[in-house]
Amino acid sequence: MLSAFTAMRHADFRRLFFSISFSEMGEQMATFAVGWYAILLAQAEGNPALGPLYLGFLGIARAIPGVAFGLAGGVIADRFDRRDVLIGSQALTTAAACGMALAAFGGWLSIGALLALTVIGAGAWSLSLSASSALIVSTTGQEDVTSAIGLWNMSVNVTMFVGPLLGGILIGPMGMGGLMVVRSLVGGASILPCLGMGAAPPEGMRRAGFVESLAEGVAFVVREPVLRWVVALSILASIGGRSVVMLYPAFGHEVLGVGAVELSYLFAARGVGTLTGSFVSASLAGVERKGLAMAIGQVLFGASTLGLAFQRTLGPAIFFTFMCGLAQFFTSGFANVLLQQRAPDRIRARTLSLFTMSYTGFGPLGTLFWGFVASFAGVATAVLGAGALLTAGSAYASAASKALRRPTGRTAAG
């Protein structure tokens, strides 16, 4: 049990941990608020059926910068001091939230303005993920990386249920503008711990051109027999699982018939599930077949998404969103450990950026596609299709990949 917390003995990791905790809290509040606000905009325009489509537009607004900055962020974080990259990207994310607050108070936060500010925030967010992920090993060393990833995921998971709960409680009395002010203050607080961290230049930096550096990272993942499956499965999870989370506002409104507070319960249940899944994966550091554990967890993720599609009342839906969160972070915990342990430091940020891109880019693309499906066939049908895709694809990968089923030891050098 105590081995799950050994990374906390490293001062710089503690600073990184608290920085990411504040940053994730603000991001989860904003994700809830933006999704709910899009549904309200569609209602105000007299066409509630546009709600899922607006959520899809928000998905593409996250996907484009998610892909672009996810890839570029890895190159940048492998070239410059990762602490400085993290501070700069967090400052830009906070600035985008300030802009959203001003727009809401000014009365011109239309769907167009919402999309534009989402693009800015999502690009900065993707860049910060590349830098912060690559900092994990440099702040703890390989011996405590499993503990660090478990604690990292637990922090993210706590914010995934506290953030939406706060959003659901505050958006009524404070409105969209007030809530985004709170999000900006939390974002500013995320920068403060980073200021006390030591410099973190990547080891063995090569000043190659941007395209050459990017190609080197992609080639490494494609050649590595385990990591190529890790990234492929993460893309599948993003399209068939993570993307469904952005449809929760439409699912709650149209299928379950609930309001903002009850919708926050769905997000909170998922957050509790992700916390549980992270703790379980962190406690299983000794598992040798980490790739197989990851694939099995992803099958459970798909099955839980399928189960959610058939729910019509709040209580059972809360259970299935909990299971979705548990399976998602059980899976991603093992995926992150494999990435950290099998990629050398000089290329680690680029390797992790491909993993980051899988959910900052392909997740929103999945939301766009399933939002389009929901506009014509209904939200429940869209969730059903996403769950079926994730379950079938993950089961195939579990059966087809010998590399995933083998014991997956550490192979990276420094």
The two tokens of residue 295 are: 């694939």
Residue type, 116: A
Highest mean pLDDT among 158-167, 263-272, 292-301: 292-301
Domain layout of the chain by residue ranges: 2-405
Q: Which of 163-177, 261-275, 317-331 has the highest mean pLDDT?
A: 317-331
How far is the CA of 402 from the CAs of 149, 199, 281, in angstroms? 25, 40, 22
Q: What is the mean pLDDT of residues 73-95?
A: 88
The pLDDT score that the predictor gives to residue 414 is 40
- Candidates 179, 45, 168; CA nearest to 112 is 45
Nearest-angstrom CA–CA distance, 179 and 168: 10
Could you tell me if 3 and 139 are in contact, meaning their C-beta atoms sit under 8 angstroms apart? no
pLDDT in tens, 377-407: 999 999 999 999 999 999 998 888 888 878 7
Contact 1, 214 (CB under 8 A): no
pLDDT value for 281: 80
The per-residue pLDDT for range 217-231, each reduced to its tens digit, is 888 988 988 898 999
When pLDDT is cut at 50, 70 and 90, the band that residue 276 belongs to is confident
Mean pLDDT of 166-194: 90
Three-class DSSP category at 15: helix
Residue 414 CB neighbours (<10 A): 11
Joined tokens for residue 68: 């672009």
Q: Tell me what pLDDT residue 108 has.
A: 87
| Sequence-ordered alpha helix ranges (H) in 312-361 | 314-342, 345-360
Residues 41 and 53: their CA atoms lie apart, in Å, by 12
Residue 2 has pLDDT above 80, yes or no: no
CB burial string 57-95: b at 16+ within 10 A, e below: bbbbbbbebbbbbbbbbbbbbbbbebbbbbbbbbebbbb
Above 70 in pLDDT, residue 307?
Answer: yes
Contact 275, 214 (CB under 8 A): no
CATH superfamily of the 2-405 domain:
MFS general substrate transporter like domains (1.20.1250.20)
Distance CA 75, CA 236 (A): 24
Question: What is the distance of C-alpha 53 from the center of its chain?
Answer: 21
Mean pLDDT of 183-192: 92
Average pLDDT score over the chain: 85
Nearest to 60 by CA among 139, 1, 122: 122
Q: Which of 22-31, 141-150, 176-185, 196-205 has the lowest mean pLDDT?
A: 196-205
Across 229-263, b (16+ Cβ under 10 Å) vs e yields: bbbebbbbbbbbbbbbbbbbbbbbbbbbebebebb
Q: Number of helices (H) and strands (E) in the chain: give both, helices first.
A: 16, 0
Q: With cut-offs at 50, 70 and 90, classify the pLDDT of residue 206.
A: low
- Segment 93-108, tens digit of pLDDT: 999 999 999 999 998 8
Angle at the Cα of 207 from the Cα atoms of 205 and 208, rounded to 5 degrees = 115
